[in-house]
């Protein structure tokens, strides 16, 4: 399949995380010119050394920082992968400071990057594609995920509205909604038999997602092969939300 991504400049936020790093590697393999951003300077430098990607760190929670880096940046594509999981809590127990921080990073951060990246894309007049990394938590009710699910529900809404607004400029906007990727960060919770067991039992494919399982659909949605796809929130969940 010809992706048409060769030499196209694509920004990946959250590039020091599992899905972000896997996406950077796959995009580089497809010949794209990748610009990686992340919070961990050491991991970002290592990723650049391994892949040859460029790096442009900025603070997702600071509009000034986002604007300074993205204004005038030549981009064809954007992957909004930067995010934070927050806490596991019920609506009765949730810490509103944590809620605000999750919304600030996941939802407002996605909006800021889309705002300033799309301005440059529109001015360039070459079209393009944006892919937001959402979650299955925005599609179904998951216990303990009130803050995270709210932030990703906002990302899904932004995806649809952005697709509507930017389509006239030949800029497509989609989201992927992965199930659990069993990283060390998520294992403490989803690795518990009483928590992860029922989810796996209900999932038709009966396995956790890998970072590569998520990177593939992201790159597809950026590519020319998805030229008629926009406004979609694509579950990458082993069939869980279809049951």
3-state class of 171 per DSSP? strand
Task: Quote the number of domains for the chain.
Answer: 1
Q: Beta partners for 10? A: 34, 77
| Residues belonging to the active site | 148, 152
Q: What is the CATH number of the domain that holds 30?
A: 3.40.50.720
pLDDT at 10: 98
What pLDDT sits at residue 188? 87
- The answer to whether residue 170 sits within a structural domain is yes
**Is residue 69, in this structure, part of any structural domain at all?**
yes
pTM reported for the whole predicted model: 0.97
Rounded distance between C-alpha atoms, residue 96 and residue 98, angstroms: 5
Question: Does some domain include residue 240?
Answer: no
For residue 20, the SS3 value is: helix
What is the model's pLDDT at position 183? Answer: 78
Domain membership of residue 163 (yes or no) is yes
Asked if the structure places residue 234 within a domain, the reply is: no
Q: Residue 101 falls within a domain, yes or no?
A: yes
Q: Is residue 205 one of the residues assigned to a domain?
A: no
**Residue ranges of the chain with pLDDT lower than 50?**
none
Within a domain: residue 78? yes
pLDDT over 70, % of the chain: 100
Beta-carbon-side half-sphere exposure of residue 147 (alpha carbons within 13 Å) = 23
Domain that holds residue 141: 9-184+211-229
243/239 Cα distance (integer angstroms): 7
């Amino acid at each position: 399949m010809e992706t048409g991504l060769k030499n196209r400049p694509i920004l990946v936020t959250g590039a020091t995380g599992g899905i972000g790093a896997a996406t950077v590697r796959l995009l580089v393999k497809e010949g794209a010119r990748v610009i990686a951003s992340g919070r961990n300077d050491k991991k970002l430098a290592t990723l650049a050394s391994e892949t040859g990607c460029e790096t442009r760190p900025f603070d997702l929670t600071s509009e000034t920082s986002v604007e300074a880096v993205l204004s005038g940046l030549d981009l064809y594509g954007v992957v909004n992968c930067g995010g934070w999981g927050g806490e596991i809590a019920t609506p009765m127990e949730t810490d509103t400071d944590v809620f605000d921080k999750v919304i600030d990073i996941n939802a407002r951060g996605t909006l800021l990057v889309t705002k300033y990246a799309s301005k440059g894309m529109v001015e360039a007049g070459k079209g393009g594609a944006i892919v937001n990394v959402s979650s299955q938590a925005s599609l179904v009710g998951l216990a303990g995920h009130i803050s995270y699910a709210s932030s990703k529900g906002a990302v899904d809404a932004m995806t649809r509205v952005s697709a509507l607004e930017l389509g006239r400029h030949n800029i497509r906007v989609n989201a992927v909604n992965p199930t659990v990727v069993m990283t060390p960060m998520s294992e403490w919770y989803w690795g518990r038999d009483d928590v992860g067991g029922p989810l796996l039992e209900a999932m038709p494919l009966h396995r956790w997602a890998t970072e590569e399982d998520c990177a593939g659909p992201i790159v597809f949605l950026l590519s020319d092969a998805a030229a008629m796809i926009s406004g979609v929130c694509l579950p990458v969940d082993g069939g869980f939300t279809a049951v």
